[in-house]
Amino acid sequence: MTEKDEKWLEKKISRRHMLKITGASAAGAAVLASGMGGVAKAFGFDILDDDQTAENKVLFYGKHQSGITTDTTTHIYFASLNVLVESQSELQDLFKMWTPLAVRLMNGERLEESSQGVFTPPKDTGESAGLDAANLTVTFGVGPSLFDNNKLGLGSKRPTELTELPHFSKDQIDDKFAGGDICIQACADDPQVAFHAVRNLVRAATGKVTLKWTQTGFTSTPKVKDKKETPRNLFAFKDGTVNPSPKSAADMKEVVWVQPNESTGWMTNGTYLVVRKIQMHLETWDRTSLQGQEATFGRHRDSGAPIGKKKEFDEVDLNAKDASGNPHIPADSHMALARKVKDRILRRGFSYSSGLIDETGAYDAGLLFISFQKNPKQFINIQNALGRADKLNEYITHRGSGIFACFPGIQKGSYIGEKLFNVL
């Protein structure tokens, strides 16, 4: 720990403040006896640091949580959980317990240096042994139902924006894939590393949480002369052409990060995550002509350009007409309808393939749509604009849904979600 870290930590957790919180003389003794590292342990969690020498490592600590504007990885393991704890202090302890574990996982480390004995289960399930950090990010959020749990006493901390998403036209949401008290989004360039992260976090919280639903996903980013191109979805169309740039601080401030006084205080520098499990009817799509497919999206499939244009990022002109006087871009195309609203969101979509649907024998495949926005209204406005008119509705069905408030970033010495408990 550097001198700067120590001063910050001393300011953050003064001895007097600690005694006030714990009311335990034993804790005070621990402070005096073992220094600031002991303070953290007295609260029941270790302070671990990012290992910046680790291979393919993303930093855990920062102003914002990772996994939101960091580079998109090739795999995701998304988990929605319900809590079993029955008090606010138990919930705090859960996040404190997860904090050093998440740091270890993102360092590419196991949860224990070596097995403690053959007569007890290992602390780490071990399937990521031999693999590096694989750019793992672990992102935490809390859902509306957490604030409805009276035992937790968080009702007054609920942001007014954090309500369950409304029913949208053509929704066929299955309760098996809806909602949740907490979400964990683990993204990595190795599917086993992402799975290992969620598995071990949930395992460590046995008796405190239970899995509600999960979904894996994958994506591939083509490169031309080392320049990344827009990924394609399972309909083979480019997905995310109009995404704001995560590297633009101005864009992220405008679209993603909650600014002071824009929401409840603890959400400053946080964001809202919307997740939708969207089944794509591949068999129907594969029987549709290329012209019909392009009219559905309003773009050319291969280039990604708006219909009538040549390049992906050419300006969209919804009034442009062909030689017969017909609009190049159909008014009911996905793109034309989405352009009706000015709201923007940051998409991080992943394809999924989960075998077959028993009743129909069709592919259970589609898009695990995830977006981040500073206000859920941004997503809601876009989805309402698409409405029943969206030609893409013929080929997709929304099966799963959730919304979560993602905490701001974690500072060293703090823990996941601390501001939820300590900031009004």
Q: pLDDT category, 26, cuts 50, 70, 90?
A: very low
pLDDT cut 90: percent of the chain above it:
81
pLDDT cut 70: percent of the chain above it:
88
Handedness of CA 116, 117, 121, 125 (dihedral sign): positive
Closest by CA to 65, choosing from 405, 423, 424, 421, is: 405
When mean pLDDT is compared across 24-38, 132-146, 226-240, 300-314, the lowest value belongs to 24-38
Q: pLDDT category, 21, cuts 50, 70, 90?
A: very low
Q: pLDDT category, 41, cuts 50, 70, 90?
A: low
Residue 354: CB partners within 8 Å, gap ≥ 6?
215, 216, 364, 365
Q: Which comes out higher in pLDDT, residue 116 or 181? A: 181
Per-chain mean pLDDT for the chain: 89
Instruction: Say what the pLDDT of residue 45 is.
Output: 60
Token code pair at residue 366: 């589609």
Residue 115 has pLDDT above 80, yes or no: no
As a whole number, mean pLDDT of residues 245-262 equals: 97
Separation of alpha carbons 215 and 177, rounded Å: 9
As a whole number, mean pLDDT of residues 28-52 equals: 53
Residue 401: CB partners within 8 Å, gap ≥ 6?
165, 171, 173, 177, 178, 179, 275, 276, 277
Separation of alpha carbons 134 and 69, rounded Å: 17
Residue 362 has pLDDT above 80, yes or no: yes
Please tell me the total number of residues recorded for the chain in this structure: 424
Which residues are bridge partners to 404 per DSSP?
Answer: 273
As a whole number, mean pLDDT of residues 252-262 equals: 97
As a whole number, mean pLDDT of residues 365-379 equals: 98
Model's pTM, two decimal places? 0.88
Residue 39 has pLDDT above 90, yes or no: no
Residue labelled with tokens 């855990």: 60
Token code pair at residue 62: 């920062």
As a whole number, mean pLDDT of residues 80-96 equals: 97
Instruction: Say what the pLDDT of residue 33 is.
Output: 33
Separation of alpha carbons 424 and 420, rounded Å: 8
As a whole number, mean pLDDT of residues 198-225 equals: 96
Q: pLDDT category, 409, cuts 50, 70, 90?
A: very high
